[in-house]
Amino acid sequence: MILTESEIKSIVTGSLHDPHQFLGMHNLGNGKGVVARTWDPGAKEITLRSSSSDHAYSMQMIDSSGLFEVVIPKENSPFRYSLHSVYPGGQKEWLDPYSFLPSVQSSELTGFNQGWDRRPFLKLGSIPKVHDGVQGVSFVVWAPSAKSVHLVGDFNFWNTQSLPMRNLGSCGCWELFVPFASRGQKYKFRVLGADGVLREKTDPFGWKFEKLPGNASIIDDRSVLRESAIPSKASNPRTAPVSIYEMHLGSWRYHPVTKQPLSFLELAKELPKYLNTLGFTHVEFLPLSEYPFGASWGYQVTGYYASTHRYGSPEDFCTLIHNLQVAGIGVIIDWVPAHFPSDDFALARFDGTCLFEHEDPRKGMHAEWGTLCFNYGRAEVRSFLIGSAISWLDRFGVDGFRVDAVASMLYLDYARKDGEWQPNEFGGNENLEAIDFIKQFNQAIHEEYPDVISIAEESTSFPQITNPPSSGGLGFDLKWNMGWMHDVLGYFSTEPIHRKHKHNQLTFGAMYQFSENFVQAFSHDEVVHGKGSLVNKMSLAYQDDRIANLRALLALQWTWPGKKTLFMGCEFGQWGEWNHESALDWALLDFPSHQGLSALLKDLNKLYKEHPAWALIDHVADKFRWIDCNDADGQTLSFLKFGTYPEDTIMVACNFSDSLRHRDWGCPHAGEWQVLLDTDSPDYAGQGSAGATRFSTFDHPCDSMPCGLSFAVSRWSVRILSLLKS
């Protein structure tokens, strides 16, 4: 079987979809023996040695580019062999990748092709394994329209020609088992696209990545998976306390000596203690999937299956999660399936076509951020994304996801002008493919991990975000309440003299509060890009007054129905706007007013977690009732939250004016009431000017209730009261 000139050229150029057709060892038939060919650019001599005998055969160079061949007439069937290559500068012993059958069959990728494989990472990417009795690495990449794909990496000295991959056919994947590749080595795929452009690509299923400025994938062990350190309690996030500390790891705290962000291992020592002291139930990390551009904060992902290299290894990240969970802190990560960057080395035009993104820019380009939108109608893309989420649950044992930019996924006209978007098949602006994907995602993660939490960052009134897919919903457990956040911050950023004209911004949120299972969130988005810090949104001249207003705002957030999220630095009144390139101003905690703010948050979290009804009724409409929501002139606001028993009732009295208010407040239960928390207490660096903390009801109606209480609330403060047991 003599190779033709065109066949030799196809091997040399890598344009042959099945290099194993000619490379490796093949039976010549008719008793003519076997032929072995190998492709080793740069080699001067190659000797083939039988693994089961002492026989050795010198191979002939049949093309100067590095193609060698030997015919062994006495052997009638292929046998196991090794190769010995001699180069101008050295030599090596190696096993021929082209002597192995495929490590993955096309039929095994059916689920990936049809969009229902939740763990495609067990087949695609670089997977160390024993194949045909030999330890090596299986490489599989999806590139259906590519003209050729070469594997390059440390294991072949980044030779751009030596390892052409085999096309597996209709599944659209390319495969190569490399027996001399091993864990820790870097690699890329060199893809000749359908458009004739040659691109070096990182692995979409990359398990680990090298440090910047490089972007190569790194072979890593995929057999090590961990379970959550928190035993499953089958808790319902809708009824359990959920108080989330949102943070960007790179700008939380710097090492005192190196002046660099704390590593995963350093955070594993510091962060659990800090969060336990403050009483948070969960921590939420801004995206920790691999990303190249620091100023994106992780929201422009290039490695959906890998933790970022910035703070340590994946094993170090596991240690951080483990320590947090052992301390009772759940771990939520931001996950970004809405868009991805157009970096040439990553997903964009991966095989010379719009493989992961839409071809039509009206769907494929993200108008607001200049990034690319996933093609949710493509089954493999859905499997890729859902596999990413499952991998974070399997591999790291995280407790949940906050899904970023959901609104941009739901609407075809999001941030687009007329003529820049294409209606769906029914003429509407809903992205039906994205909606189906979101439902599939939530169903998948909850079926695999029933206790997982999924939170939507969704800024519109799209219906049934937190209803299950079985009843027509999207399946999220919780949704950020963006409307309430904007309204309330708008009120507090208004000067006191004008607040009476903004009173509806405090009350309007109650109209829709129970339409979804909301999280009341003051997030990173509100303290960056010129918006100022949370404490500096308080429109007052003096710093102590701004801190007093922030204490009142946090008390309103924690007593209002819904779960809680607060961005780092807000807990102690960071004056400066958040900067991802510098640490928080921890020195502020040397000042009593900032210490007091932190102490208040600690006590709010303690009450929220320990009160028998507080968190339980976060999403129960008939457990909330206004006392007085109409006192715009007095700038007060008061409401009740009911529990199972009268003594579970919480009364919240707010005074957002610059004067102490003493008035009568309606009360549902007769008896003696006590103040559980006063944001103006000296314990929080307040004045304590409201006076008494225990009161008895009077027996005539007030605020449409059977009895009332008469007490004062200091300026810019909130008092929380409960009924004493009789």
pLDDT in tens, 475-518: 999 999 999 999 999 999 999 999 999 999 999 999 999 999 99
At residue 230, the pLDDT reads 57
Would you mind telling me the total number of residues written for the chain in this entry?
A: 726
Q: What are the structural domain ranges in the chain?
A: 5-99, 106-218, 621-723
Residue 234 confidence (pLDDT) above 60: no
Is residue 54 very low, low, confident or very high in pLDDT (cuts 50, 70, 90)? Answer: confident
Structure tokens at 135: 């330890």
Compute the distance between CA of residue 381 and CA of residue 350 in angstroms, rounded to an integer: 12
Give the CA dihedral 471, 475, 478, 481, nearest 10 degrees: -80
Residue 31 confidence (pLDDT) above 90: no
Structure tokens at 500: 């009476």
Mean per-residue pLDDT of the chain: 94
Give the CA dihedral 261, 262, 267, 268, nearest 10 degrees: 140
404 is catalytic: yes
At residue 60, the pLDDT reads 95
Residue among 246, 404, 618, 678 flagged as catalytic: 404
Structure tokens at 226: 């961990």
Compute the distance between CA of residue 343 and CA of residue 337 in angstroms, rounded to an integer: 16
Residue 273 confidence (pLDDT) above 70: yes
Residue 229 confidence (pLDDT) above 80: no
The mean pLDDT of 659-674, rounded to a whole number, is 96
At residue 172, the pLDDT reads 96
The mean pLDDT of 357-362, rounded to a whole number, is 89
Identify the residue with better confidence: 16 or 222.
222
Are 202 and 345 in contact by the 8 Å Cβ rule? The answer is: yes
Query: In whole angstroms, what separates CA 546 from the centre of its chain?
Result: 33
The lowest-confidence range among 27-41, 223-237, 407-421 is 223-237
At residue 145, the pLDDT reads 97
Residue among 117, 380, 457, 618 flagged as catalytic: 457
Q: Which helix (H) or strand (E) holds 173?
A: strand 173-178
At residue 111, the pLDDT reads 97
Is residue 317 very low, low, confident or very high in pLDDT (cuts 50, 70, 90)? Answer: very high
Q: What is the pLDDT of residues 197-207, one digit of tens each?
A: 999 999 999 99
Is residue 625 very low, low, confident or very high in pLDDT (cuts 50, 70, 90)? Answer: very high
* Model confidence, pTM: 0.95
Are 679 and 551 in contact by the 8 Å Cβ rule? The answer is: yes
CATH topology of domain 621-723: Immunoglobulin-like (2.60.40)
Nearest to 128 by CA among 40, 211, 224, 20: 224
What is the percentage of the chain residues whose pLDDT exceeds 70?
99
At residue 8, the pLDDT reads 87
- DSSP annotation of 168 reads -
Are 283 and 327 in contact by the 8 Å Cβ rule? The answer is: no
Are 474 and 463 in contact by the 8 Å Cβ rule? The answer is: no
Structure tokens at 410: 């739901």
Q: Which helix (H) or strand (E) holds 126?
A: strand 125-131
Segment 103-107 long-range contacts (CB within 8 Å, at least 24 positions apart): 103/127, 103/129, 103/131, 103/138, 103/140, 103/175, 103/177, 104/138, 104/140, 104/168, 104/173, 104/175, 105/168, 106/168, 106/169, 106/170, 106/171, 106/173
Tokens 């003299």 — which residue? Answer: 497
At residue 364, the pLDDT reads 82
Identical fold at 106-218 and 621-723? yes
The mean pLDDT of 116-140, rounded to a whole number, is 97
Helix ranges restricted to H, 400-496: 406-410, 432-448, 482-492
Assigned CATH for 106-218: 2.60.40.10
Residue 222 confidence (pLDDT) above 90: no
At residue 4, the pLDDT reads 86
At residue 360, the pLDDT reads 87
At residue 15, the pLDDT reads 79
Helices 482-492 + 543-559 axis angle, to 10:
150
Residue 231 confidence (pLDDT) above 60: no
Structure tokens at 335: 């996950």
Compute the distance between CA of residue 724 and CA of residue 629 in angstroms, rounded to an integer: 25
Structure tokens at 199: 């691109």
Could you say which architecture CATH assigns to the domain 5-99? Sandwich (2.60)
Peptide bond just before 213 cis, omega within 30 deg: yes
699 is catalytic: no
Residue 232 confidence (pLDDT) above 80: no
Tokens 């399936």 — which residue? Answer: 337
